[in-house]
Amino acid sequence: MQRYPFVLSANLHGGELVVTYPFDMSRTYWKARELTPTPDDGIFRWLATVYATANLAMATDHRRRCHHHDFDLNFKFSLKCEGMNDFSYLHTNCFEITVELSCDKFPHASELPEEWENNRESLLLFMEQVHRGIKGVVRDSDTEQGIPNAIISVDGINHDIRTGILRHWDTGTWRH
Amino acid at 109: A
Q: Which domain holds residue 24?
A: 8-131
pLDDT of amino acid 173: 54
User: Do 12 and 61 belong to one domain?
Assistant: yes
User: Do 82 and 106 belong to one domain?
Assistant: yes
Taking CA atoms, 112 is separated from 11, 57, 98, 127, in Å, by 17, 13, 19, 21
pLDDT of amino acid 57: 86
pLDDT digits (tens, 9 = 90+) for 45-58: 999 999 999 998 88
User: Do 51 and 101 belong to one domain?
Assistant: yes
User: Do 47 and 99 belong to one domain?
Assistant: yes
pLDDT of amino acid 80: 46
What is the tally of structural domains in the chain?
Answer: 2
Beta strands (DSSP E) in 70-163 are: 95-100, 151-154, 157-162
Catalytic residue set: 100
User: Do 87 and 146 belong to one domain?
Assistant: no
User: Do 12 and 92 belong to one domain?
Assistant: yes
pLDDT of amino acid 169: 55
Low-confidence stretches of the chain (pLDDT beneath 70):
1-3, 24-35, 61-82, 166-176
User: Do 118 and 160 belong to one domain?
Assistant: no
pLDDT of amino acid 171: 54
User: Do 159 and 86 belong to one domain?
Assistant: no
Amino acid at 100: E
pLDDT of amino acid 37: 85
User: Do 120 and 160 belong to one domain?
Assistant: no
151 inside domain: yes
